[in-house]
Chains A and B, each alone.
Chain A
Amino acid sequence: MGEPVSILAQASSRAVLVLVILFAGLYAYAWRNPLGADAHLIDPGRFRAVEVERLKAGLPDPARVRVRDEFVAGSKPWIVVCGEVNARDDRGNLTGFRRFIAGPSFKAMGGDVEDGVMDALWSAMCVRKR
């Protein structure tokens, strides 16, 4: 029984040694290749927050704007936030919830564009949720 145990102990020692060498190599690699924020990829949570804030900022009385059921949809380069927004119009009246599509270089809201156009945009841009 002593011999198999010593063989196992040897094998285990080798495995530990391999892991230590692997870790040392990766640590050196990490040291030489530090990473910044991965700005090229879309983080859906952050993207949604930024676009909703941008949408609110573009509407009258941004603090009272209500957004609901918003989600990120589409794929690069057409990634947008779709949802519903309730904001005040130029006369200060609430418009009621209406659909919106917002992206870095694009914005469309129900009421501002015709229903048929909004439907077409919605089905083209908001179907593929991320």
Chain B
Amino acid sequence: MTAHPTPRLAAAPASAPTAPEPFSLFAGDWMQATYAGLGLGSHRPWYKTTRCVVAVLVTYVPMAALAWRQGLVEGTLSPTNFFADFAAYACFLVGLPLFLIAEIVIDASTREAAEEFMSCGVVRPEDAPRVLRVHDTLRRWRESRVPDAVCVLLAYVLSLAILVPQFGHDPLPTWHVTGEPGSRHLTAAGYWAFFVALPLLDYVWLRLIVKTLLWIYYLYHVSRVRLALLPTHPDLTGGIGFVSEAQGRFAVLILAYGISNVAAPVGYQIAVQDYELTAMPVWGPIAGFIIGAPLLFTLPLFMFTKQLYRTKRRALSVFRERAMERLRDIEKRWLYTEHRDSLPEELGMPAEQTMLDGLYSRIHHMRVVPFDLRSLGQLVGSTLGSMATLLPLLHSRSELNEAVDVVSKLLEHLGGSH
């Protein structure tokens, strides 16, 4: 999929680059180059599916084979049973493929939104070169090896952060590490987990976080351009409602992150390590994720609030002035003059009045944040949806009632404080 210069861009001043840089967060980056190197660079659905299969074959399947070979298989739900580790299932069989799908969804939706900014005239022709320079900056960043190198480094740091405590003086049993304190060593599956599978999983989501930051950077610069907003636009956000749709698509990323990085480890702590719901390592990540994830994708849209607010205020002011003039005229002719046959131009006045009502309604209901309930629902839904995977586990441990009690008390408290 390639973005083509739009007719409005063709009308941009001579200072614009001769070959405008199309917007993309992913095209030509290290991962895309790797896909190409593996013969999986095509955008056809077959190749996208194959990427997910390859990811599972590189991560989960070798760990399972190594665990089976070394005897980390039991018939009970124990921490030394690899096949009882449903966190591994969630991370590598669900989360990792979802991250790869999220990349495809986010790539398409952000490209579309960036094209809309230019093609529908929200970015004025005279400001187009400024936005195209941002595209160029994004191209340099995505083709740079620095963010990828940092992501790989961080991925290994995160992997080691999980591994190192398992060599402490009072470790819990796991399938990653075995032996007595002081002489503990990694199992074969543990080596693969901490040096291949987990770093790969972490790299994939860290890379998507970098892409999200690049998208926020793009939105910041576009919000700094004087946009040609239409206060009477039917999307009720001045004509930039498409940004809301693009933000809503990040729900797939939230879902993948929630399942692999929050629900899976928390579920493991509850079911296998016997933690209670009230323990900080259990409820802390859940609460942080439920609050933080939707906010991360909603807050950047407030960068457009200043322009939207000003546009709305200006439009209301002008509308009131013009409407008063027209209404005075209409009232004068229809209410305060003696009955006579209407002139042809007077017959259109009620229709004009109806149109004015409609315009006023749109300006009045115009939102100053380009976000709609549907997109918010997608973000919140995927956040809570990923956490809902914990419900059967909590129910089986009779901690669901406890969780419901806590939420009920919180709501009662909030309700009582009003």
Contacts and interface: CB of A to CB of B under 8 A. Distances in A.
Interface of A: 4-5, 8-12, 16, 19, 22-23, 26-27, 29-31, 33-38, 40-46, 48, 71-72, 75-76, 129-130
Q: Which of B58, B274, B279: most chain A Cβ within 10 A? A: B274
Given A5-B36, A130-B274, A34 B71 contact: yes
Given A34-B71, A37-B80, A43-B79, A8 B33 contact: yes
Contact of A76 (B34, B70, B170, B272): B170
A9 B69 contact: no
A22 B192 CA distance: 9
Contact of A35 (B72, B76, B172, B192): B72
Contacts of A8: 33-34, 36-37
A5 B28 CA distance: 11
A72 B276 CA distance: 11
B274 A34 contact: no
A46 B397 CA distance: 15
B171 interface: yes
Given A31-B69, A71-B276, A129-B279, A38 B37 contact: no
B173 A41 contact: yes
Interface in B299-319: none
Contacts of B39: 9
B38 A30 contact: no
A30 B39 CA distance: 32
Q: Give the size category of B's interface with A.
A: 35 or more
Interface in B169-185: 170-173, 178-180
Closest 6 CB pairs of A and B: A8-B37, A12-B37, A30-B188, A41-B173, A30-B70, A44-B274
A48 B78 CA distance: 13
Contacts of B58: 19
Contact of B188 (A10, A29, A129): A29
B385 interface: no
Given A9-B37, A44-B273, A35 B71 contact: yes
A45 B272 contact: yes
B71 A36 contact: yes
Contacts of A19: 58, 196
A38 B178 contact: yes
A42 B172 contact: yes
Nearest to A45: B274
Q: Which of A19, A41, A45: most chain B Cβ within 10 A? A: A41
A75 to B, nearest CB: 5
A76 B173 CA distance: 13
B149 to A, nearest CB: 15
B183 to A, nearest CB: 10
A34 B70 contact: yes
Contacts of B38: 9, 12, 16
A35 B187 contact: yes
Q: Which of A10, A11, A38, A129: most chain B Cβ within 10 A? A: A38
Contact of B65 (A27, A36, A48): A27
A40 B182 CA distance: 12
Interface in B67-90: 69-72, 74, 76-80
A45 B69 contact: no
A44 B189 CA distance: 22
B66 interface: yes
Given A35-B187, A43-B78, A26 B66 contact: yes
Contacts of B192: 22-23, 26
B172 A30 contact: no
Contacts of A27: 65-66, 69, 188
Nearest to A8: B37
Contact of B173 (A5, A38, A75, A129): A38
Interface string B270-311: 001110100100000000000000000000000000000000
A29 B66 CA distance: 9
Nearest to A44: B274
B80 A38 contact: yes
A43 B69 contact: no
B199 to A, nearest CB: 12
Contacts of A36: 71
A48 B274 contact: yes
A41 B176 CA distance: 13
A26 B69 CA distance: 10
8 contacts: A8-B36, A12-B34, A27-B188, A30-B66, A31-B69, A35-B72, A42-B173, A44-B273
Contacts of B172: 41-44, 130
A31 B405 CA distance: 50
A120 to B, nearest CB: 23
A31 B38 CA distance: 31
A35 B178 contact: yes
A93 B72 CA distance: 47
